[in-house]
Structure 1
Amino acid sequence: MAEYYNVTTNLGDAEIANAIATNTKLNITHVAFGDGNGSVPTPNKARTSLVREVHRQAVTKYERHATNANWIVIETIIPSGVGGFTIREMGIIANGKLISYGSHAPFEKVADPSGVSEYRLRFTQNVTDGSVVEIMLDESLIYASQEWVKENFIKRSEIVDNLITDDPAKPISARQAKILNEKMLEGLFENDSPIDRTNQRHPNITYTNPSDKRYMLIYLDIELTQSNQTPGIIFIDESEVFTFWGGANLNSTLVIPPKGTIKIQVNEHQVEFFSILSWREM
């Protein structure tokens, strides 16, 4: 016999027989989950309730199996915010009664509102003569533990697309990786060594990389001393790549593509409070 399985209960057998006799549909409403009071229980047809129920979830859908008329497919989802318990047993609730009871491989369900601990269950129940059947989980669904997700999942907001951070843990976007790869294939930036342009560059003026083959690397250190409701904005090829506010220095390293442009936009009332401390072009 399978290690984890379920049985239709005596109550379930009666409900199924009544549904067949009256040609009605079982009113399956919930899947109950329990912790078995600390251990995985052995399914028993005489059960009328779980050993210790910890959560009851409304079914998302249930329907007859596509190829076997004696099977029903049941689906439910425990939301991310629900948890703090271990699932070791489960039961199907129909017409307010426990019609099926089964053991469940121990699964720690944590409560996490961030959305990484949602638990989806889709399984097939045999309703023929109260047969003992294995709980058949749908293998097309993929489950990941919260710890695995934390270790391996990268949030889209964490992907760097402007190369202005020196955080070694930040992943680079495909676009910027392509830029760096092409730069390496070219072999050089526009200049072989940094050229000091500090006194030659000003806000609200668009500057262009003169090369049609090589990238320009800009080491930028700017200061905006006045706090204001209007931020300063750095544009590369007319696309906003960074916003900065008054009251702090900004140190950035920017890559400008061949024939690309860069502009530091500052509100006209802030210009007197703005200064370029360092601008070096590689």
Structure 2
Amino acid sequence: MAEKFYAILTNIGKAKIANATALGTKVNISTLVVGDGLNGGYYNPTEDQTSLKHQVWQGQVNMVRTDEQNPNWIVVEAVIPADVGGFSVREAGILDDQGNLLAVGKYPETYKPVLANGSAKDLYIRMILEVSNAATVTLKIDPATVLVTKKYVDDTVATASQNLDNKISSHIQNGNVHVTPAEKDTWNSKAAGNHTHPNATQTISGFLSGPDKKKLDDQVILNTGGAFTGDVKIDAGLTVRLKVKKSGKDSNGKFTTVEWRRKKDNTLFMRSVLSIPDVNGNYQTDTWSIYNAAGTAVIETVTWTLTYDADGDFVESS
């Protein structure tokens, strides 16, 4: 009659899992043991066993997981390394972290060679247990000594890759982050006419981006009739439109020089130069040079001391 191979929970294993379910605790699986059977042959495991008939090896369990198709099946895996062997495996058992035999199984006869036999290989042992509450079973191991199967690595990499692809796809399709082709076409069509970017701000001198407008509102005097004093002043009769050019990008991606030029004739109105960076790359000084109407000579220089908060964000200039 053909042999039947199976695994069963021992009486100790049943009692521990039932107790853990009732108390909301865990059963810690830690060790897998194998043996060569009863007098070197098969036998039928029983629930009252507390040990294997003839143990030949024990080692740390690599993995305890719930079967993907059957949530009440606990899959336990271990690896007998290539440098261990010279015996046959006909029985296997699972121990908790207190050394109790929780389950025992009848295993198809497998010879585990060592190099002295002319061959060596890792032997992967897997046992499947059916329990009423898989959540009560957990794994207790030393992660420094764990081995894994190639299939587990392949499955893990495939899952991580799929999750990354999903996140990238979700990010690309996020309309709050990326401009759609339709939106881009709409903005381009507006730019061709008498329009500006919706995030730009209209000022007396024309349209500026938010950061540039704030800088002008905070510190720049745009007074066509008077001298530059360093005070904030925007003349209601101003007809000058300025364009901005940045240069001198440093290793942190910050532009250290900004020029404002009159749009009508490209003459230089003002140049701002950042200097004296601290250890975090935050510049401590901003020097403004104000030019004459021809843009050829400096008529006034103003130096600002820049202040940052604990996060390195710009707070104010004084």
Computing the radius of gyration from Cα coordinates, the structure with the larger value is: 2
| Bigger RCO of structures 1 and 2 (CA < 8 A, at least 6 apart) | 1
TM-score w.r.t. length of structure 2: 0.38
TM-score w.r.t. length of structure 1: 0.43
